[in-house]
Amino acid sequence: MRAVKGRILVVDDEKDMLSLISRILTQETEHEVITESDPLLAVELIKDQAVDLVLTDLKMPRLDGLQLLAQVKRIRPQTSVVILTAFATVDTAVAGIRQGAYDYLTKPFDRERLLLTVNQVMDWQALTKENQNLKEVLESQGERWNLVGQSAAMVDLQARIRQVGPTNATVLITGPSGTGKELVARAIHTSSLRRNKKFITVNCTAIPEQIIESELFGHVKGAFTGAWKNKIGLVEEAQGGTLFLDEIGDLGPHLQTKLLRLLQEGEFKPVGSETTRLADLRFVAATNQDLGRAIRERSFREDLYYRLNVIRLDLPPLKDRREDIVLLAHHFLNKYATGYGKEIDGLTRPALQALLDHQYPGNVRELGNIIERAVIFCSGRNLEPRDLLPGLEGEGPLSRTSQEVWNLPFREAKDRMVHLFHVRYLEEALRETNGNISRAAEAAGIQRQYFHRLMKETGVEAAHFRNGDNGSKPGRE
């Protein structure tokens, strides 16, 4: 993977070394390369302009590499530092890693090793900036009722909420389960003139039919067996505010009639009462059903449907607004990392790609569940594919590959499962050895050449498991 453009500062008191490193990086990368032979002047330069990477010699007059590292981290904590050192001072360079250096390279260094390390650092910097940008976008959307998304559908939805919210019009929200219909209902309430009053939810599916009338309208003492005192219903509790009727399509015919009167006349009677009471409410309803078909099948009243369907807002499934997946993933990551007290910076590119490849039959709710589980299992500073796919047994949140495989021809199914096994085994072996291929192959009991060939065939990269992601010291190949 080719790193994105960035800025690199090389510091070394040997001008020949400066020239060599500068020439390699200029020829082989697209980064801007700045050189400085005086470490004190390098400090002043870092004060004046941001750099992504400082590549510094360890032994220098006036200010050595560890002292320069400390200055860099004080001035620009996000800047990465890689130390160049002779073999005899490796222990000192390792101490630098404990003080915040990204890595070290021994002199004379290998050209390919230099380029690999630089590209790893710059990819890390790019990922960090991308995560920060997404966090800023989420913060800017914080006032938009927690409705996260930049797709055309979400932008249009938010615009319509701003138009509809201040009115008293009844709203019907439609969309598959898990798309966030209750969030939209709350957004309508929050943007209305009733925002300082209550928002009451009636789950038409969860409340048993035999008691839903009492729950909705209340009852008087003695209305039925067990009614030993007067009870206020949800309609009266919501007075002056918003009543949200969730999954309205599951409401039985008797309650549909009662609800129609409430919507038409603005009045209701508690169960067992002869006194009519007035209701001052904003009505918002939601359903994942096709109410048009329910009307044709005579399971839903047509007149009630038209009373509810004054303003209609349709929520698309997540698969139809895939451009929102990354932003939603970071939203849930921030939420659950904070909730569980874990320091997680973001998601790696392979993890993001795994999320983008998933189909989400459970929509936004499913994505939220995936990220919550991943946060719980994550042991590093970024979510990895292994956090999203904890096992091969078909129980992981992104186990679509192993679930669909049974519908394939035998040979194709076998190849798919063997490939998945190789990926998971290699990832675990490399994670345990912090990306050290030789040690991973030795632990697996196979030759390094064969281990490396499997990596090439499966696309598994050792670089994703290096530099302390799992809490151990950086491995060397």
Q: Per-residue pLDDT tens for 80-96?
A: 999 988 765 667 767 77
The alpha-helical segments, DSSP class H, found in 275-433 are 291-296, 302-308, 325-339, 349-357, 363-377, 385-388, 400-404, 410-432
**Dihedrals phi, psi of 10, to nearest 5 degrees:** -105, 125
In a shared domain, residues 424 and 380: no
Listed residue (416, 431, 418, 340) closest to 384, CA to CA:
431
Q: Which CATH number fits the domain that encloses residue 164?
A: 3.40.50.300
Instruction: Classify residue 401: in a domain, yes or no.
Output: no
The answer to whether residue 2 sits within a structural domain is no
Q: Is the pLDDT of residue 49 over 50?
A: yes
> Token pair 């199914």 is at which residue?
413
Tokens of 43: 């400090």
| Residues 50 and 161 both lie in one domain | no
Average pLDDT, the chain: 84
pLDDT band at 54 (very low <50, low <70, confident <90, very high): very high
Q: What are the pLDDT digits (tens) for 157-190?
A: 989 999 999 999 999 999 998 899 999 999 999 9
d(CA 3, CA 371): 27
Q: Is 150 helix (H, G, I), strand (E, B) or coil?
A: coil
pLDDT in tens, 274-329: 888 999 999 999 999 999 999 999 999 999 999 999 999 999 999 899 889 988 99
Range of the structural domain that residue 428 is part of: 408-477
- As a whole number, mean pLDDT of residues 116-126 equals 87
Domain contains 198: yes
Q: State pLDDT tens for residues 430-474.
A: 888 888 888 888 888 888 778 877 887 777 777 777 654 443 333
Whether 287 is in a domain gets the answer yes
3-state secondary structure of 469: coil
Q: What is the predicted pLDDT for the residue at 94?
A: 74
> Do 434 and 472 meet the contact criterion of CB atoms below 8 Å apart?
yes
Local structure of 379: helix, strand or coil: coil
Which comes out higher in pLDDT, residue 147 or 38? 38
Domain count of the chain? 4
Query: Is 198 in the same domain as 297?
Result: yes
- 185 and 296 housed in the same domain: yes
More reliable by pLDDT, 344 or 132: 344
Residue 380 φ/ψ, nearest 5 degrees: -115, -165
State the number of CA atoms in the 13 A half-sphere of 197 facing the CB: 18
What does the pLDDT read at residue 96?
79
Structure tokens at 253: 């015919």
Q: Is residue 114 domain-resident?
A: yes
- Cβ atoms 441, 427 nearer than 8 A: no
Whether 465 and 431 have beta carbons less than 8 Å apart is answered as yes
pLDDT computed for residue 1 by the predictor: 39
Within a domain: 145:
no
Mean pLDDT, residues 117-130: 84
% of the chain surpassing 70 pLDDT: 87
The b-or-e profile of 224-261 (16+ CB within 10 A means b, else e) is eeeeeeebebbbbebbebbbbbbbbbbbeeebbebbbe
Same domain, 120 and 247: no
Last residue of a domain, one of 394, 418, 439: 394
If you average pLDDT over residues 254-259, what whole number do you get?
A: 90
pTM: 0.59
Q: Do 256 and 210 fall into the same domain?
A: yes
Give yes or no: residues 114 and 25 share one domain.
yes
Q: In whole angstroms, what is the distance from residue 330 CA to residue 417 CA? A: 30
For residue 369, the tally of other CB atoms under 10 A from its CB is: 14
Residues 156 and 77 placed together within one structural domain of the fold: no
Q: Are residue 303 and residue 178 in the same domain, yes or no?
A: yes
Instruction: Answer with the one of 316, 338, 369 that is the final residue of a domain.
Output: 316
- Same domain (yes/no): 188, 133: no
Q: Are residues 105 and 182 in the same domain?
A: no
The domain spanning residue 446 has which CATH number? 1.10.10
Supply the CATH number for residue 127's domain: 3.40.50.2300
**DSSP states along 251-265:** --HHHHHHHHHHHHH
**Whether residue 287 sits in one domain with residue 425:** no
Rounded Cα gap, residues 389 and 373, in angstroms: 10
Bridge partner list, 104: 83
> What integer pLDDT is reported at residue 410 of this predicted model?
72
pLDDT at residue number 301: 95
Is residue 147 in a domain?
Answer: no
Q: Which residue has the higher pLDDT, 295 or 113?
A: 295
Domain assignment present for residue 434? The answer is yes
Band of residue 477 on the pLDDT scale cut at 50, 70, 90: very low
Structure-model confidence comparison of residues 64 and 458, the more confident one = 64
- Residue-wise pLDDT tens digits, 374-411: 888 888 888 888 888 543 233 344 444 444 455 566 76
Q: Which of 262, 283, 316 is the last residue of a domain?
A: 316
